């Protein structure tokens, strides 16, 4: 199988996986002590969500309930960005697979563009730490009833798992150095800016669930990335050899 045909095969496999996921709206249950979520998906959108959480640091463990509706769905930006870039990659590689004849320079640009889009898709799925901290209250407008001001919820993808994090915060006036999170560590005791105010995380509750379809998607995406990377590397080698001759 030629290298460009291999890329097409892998990208079409990703597209097929996406199509299968669109045929039904799967519901996913995530459950842990203090946090329970039932989320229904439509592609990269959470269109229905029921969330129950409680913490001993908030009103002695009083239960907090909120929901997500289709009128204002929660967008998983990581998956949305990855899907958009895969679509762009398919459009690029489709030009090479057509019956038209193009010059070597044109084909090289198509491969480079395809690699760029696949890289962006892979990065979108891999960069999860950005989504662990909200920046402002607008990110909570998906939830109804509105969350108490002492609570925040984040939903994101990490590796092959869907994660939901609930945090109890308190606003502080003291001049404390902002401590940024590192890796997968707990944020309890950390301070950060939220709506231009300094807050401290005083409790954290979370739940997660590994998703087989997400695992298959990431594996296929990694194969497409490596295939494109090898092809771009080969092209650069050929160009270098030609320039030296």
How do residues 198-220 score in pLDDT, each as one tens digit? 888 899 999 999 999 899 889 98
Contact by Cβ (8 Å): 90, 11: yes
Of 1, 39, 128, residue with least CA distance to 77: 128
Say what angle helices 77-97 and 212-244 make with each other, to 10 degrees.
50
Q: Which two tokens stand for residue 110?
A: 């198509």
Q: What pLDDT score does 28 carry?
A: 95
Q: What pLDDT score does 231 carry?
A: 80
Q: What pLDDT score does 18 carry?
A: 61
The pLDDT of residue 239 is above 50: no
Question: Which residues neighbour 108 within 8 Å (Cβ) at sequence distance 6 or greater?
Answer: 235
Q: What pTM value is reported for the model?
A: 0.82
If pLDDT is split at 50, 70 and 90, which confidence band does 130 have? Answer: low
Euclidean distance between CA atoms 245 and 239, whole angstroms: 10
């Amino acid at each position: 199988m030629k290298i460009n045909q291999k890329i097409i095969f892998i990208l079409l496999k990703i597209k097929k996986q996406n199509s299968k996921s669109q045929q039904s709206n799967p519901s996913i249950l995530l459950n842990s002590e203090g946090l329970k979520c039932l989320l229904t998906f439509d592609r990269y959108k959470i269109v229905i969500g029921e969330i129950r959480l409680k913490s001993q640091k908030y009103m002695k463990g009083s239960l907090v309930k909120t929901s997500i509706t289709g009128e204002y769905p929660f967008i998983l930006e990581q998956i949305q960005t990855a899907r958009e870039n895969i679509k762009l990659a398919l459009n690029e590689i489709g030009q090479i697979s057509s019956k038209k004849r193009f010059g070597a320079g044109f084909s090289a640009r198509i491969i480079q563009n395809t690699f760029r889009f696949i890289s962006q898709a892979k990065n979108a799925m891999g960069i999860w730490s950005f989504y662990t901290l909200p920046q402002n209250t607008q990110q909570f407008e998906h939830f109804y009833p509105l969350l108490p001001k002492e609570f925040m919820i984040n939903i994101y993808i990490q590796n092959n798992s869907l994660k939901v994090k609930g945090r109890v915060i308190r606003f502080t006036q003291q001049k404390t150095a902002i401590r940024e999170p590192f890796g997968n560590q707990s944020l309890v005791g950390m301070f950060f800016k939220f709506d231009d105010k300094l807050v401290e995380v005083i409790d954290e509750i979370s739940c997660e669930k590994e998703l087989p379809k997400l695992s298959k998607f990431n594996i296929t995406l990694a194969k497409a990335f490596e295939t494109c990377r090898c092809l771009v590397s080969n092209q650069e080698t050929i160009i270098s050899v030609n320039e030296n001759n």
